[in-house]
Amino acid sequence: MGEKIDRQVEFSGTKQVPEHLAIDVKTLNQYLAAHVPGFSEILELKQFKGGQSNPTYLITTAAGRYVLRRKPPGNLLPSAHAIDREFRVISALYNQNFPVPRPYIYCEDETIAGTEFYLMTFNDGPVMWEPHLPEATVDQRRAIYKAMNTTIAQLHMIDINKAGLSDFGRPSQYVARQIKRWSGQYRQSTSSINPDMNRLMEWLPDAVPVEGKATLVHGDFRLDNLILTADKSQIAAVLDWELSTLGDPLADFTYHLMQWKMPPSKSGAGTGSLANHDLEALGIPDLDSYVEQYCQQTGRDNIENLNFYFAYNFFRLAAILQGIVGRVRDGTATNTHAGAMASRVPPLAKCAWEYAVLAGAGS
């Protein structure tokens, strides 16, 4: 298994760009200087350690810092790494005063950086990789969880017509389409048999509850995709919009509820967990209180079918992590710990099936 990964250390900050993800700085500099007002000479280009999908770079210039996010090179799964959609949704949300980085330019010319990319502002603030927030105070933890809840509620209340996103996805059957998509990508990414995943792929499609009104959904909303303000009291920016679309807000909200139920990882790979932590002592709300806060902000009485949503989301995360394992196989993984994700798929699938049984599977 190897030594346990310190997620905060391993996934924070930047590193030297590996050769297979290198960018020709001279070509990039010429392009950005010609297309981004005020852009000056690139002094340094480094890659962020965190992230599993699209390589993301910190660009330092004499005038300031920027972030470049690009598609990875190589053989990619269909519909994955949607850089153009990321840029579109960030641009729309920035104009709605939602906390996202300021977008500058999208470039589909692959001769500039090797693959299509976009440029955005650099938001300087902490990113927390452990949901129990060991480096925060009790008051900061309360503030962070309140702000996180408020931010996802705000996202789900965005007027998609006013934001210009009414055609950003199909507004119906989101969960059913997600099940089909991730089942297909799971099958393409695996070379072994997992009975729990097979049972889930058979049961989930016929168990989808009736969906309410579609909203904008992030698709991967979790603590480590948020940049906090310096005092750790507010959300400065929401990152990683690759999976965003129109869909079921309850599926989106319950995705980040998984951290309360996440099977802990012995290696530290995968997603952080609140399991086995004293939440009251930490100042972190329990699951029921957190759900109640979201319902109050979005005008809901409660969240029905929670066991189904947990089954669906644990299945979906298992399929996403299997896709990362597949990218290791294909040589397109961008994170040095991507290979460790393989060990996370079976416990996530097991957890998903346990919730499926609670939701009525096999009865």
101 alpha carbon, distance to own chain's centre: 15
Q: Which of 35-49, 147-161, 253-267 has the highest mean pLDDT?
A: 147-161
The proportion of the chain whose per-residue pLDDT surpasses 90, expressed as a percent, equals 75
pLDDT at 321: 86
What span, in angstroms and rounded, lies between the C-alpha atoms of 58 and 237?
A: 16
Q: Residues 92-130: pLDDT tens digits?
A: 999 999 999 999 999 999 999 999 999 999 999 999 989
Residue 204: strand, helix, or coil: helix
Model confidence at 68: pLDDT above 90: yes
pLDDT attached to residue 2: 46
Could you report the per-residue pLDDT of 156-206, keeping only the tens digit for each? Answer: 999 999 999 999 999 899 999 999 999 998 888 877 789 999 999 999 999
**Tokens found for residue 91:** 């641009």
Left, alpha or beta for 153 (phi > 0: left; psi -120 to 50: alpha)?
A: alpha
Q: CB under 8 Å to 42, separation ≥6 — which residues? A: 25, 28, 29, 32, 59, 60, 61
Report helix, strand or coil for 283.
Answer: coil
Band of pLDDT at residue 238, cut at 50, 70 and 90: very high
Whether residue 83 contacts residue 116, with contact meaning beta carbons closer than 8 Å, is answered with: yes
Do residues 314 and 283 touch, judged by C-beta distance below 8 A? no
Q: Taking residues 61-69, what's their average pLDDT?
A: 94
Are 166 and 160 in contact, with CB atoms under 8 Å apart? yes
Q: Please state, in angstroms and rounded to a whole number, the distance separating the CA atoms of residues 274 and 228.
A: 19
Which of 315, 290, 291, 289 has the alpha carbon at shortest distance from 303? 291
Ranges 9-23, 199-213, 262-276, 318-332, most confident: 199-213
pLDDT of 51 over the 80 cut? no
For the chain, domains (ranges, CATH) are 7-121 (3.30.200.20)
Mean pLDDT of the chain: 89
- Indicate whether 26 pLDDT > 60: yes
Element (H, E) at 46: strand 42-48
Q: Concatenate the DSSP letters of all residues of 298-354 into one string.
A: HT-S----HHHHHHHHHHHHHHHHHHHHHHHHHT---STTGGGGGGGHHHHHHHHHH
Question: Beta strand pairing status for 117-121 and 215-217?
Answer: unpaired
Residue 79 has pLDDT above 60, yes or no: no
pLDDT higher than 90, residue 73: no
Distance CA 234, CA 223 (A): 12
Cα 132 from Cα 111, distance rounded (Å) = 43
Helix orientation angle between 287-298 and 138-156, rounded to the nearest 10 degrees:
40
Q: How far apart are CA 277 and CA 282, in angstroms?
A: 8
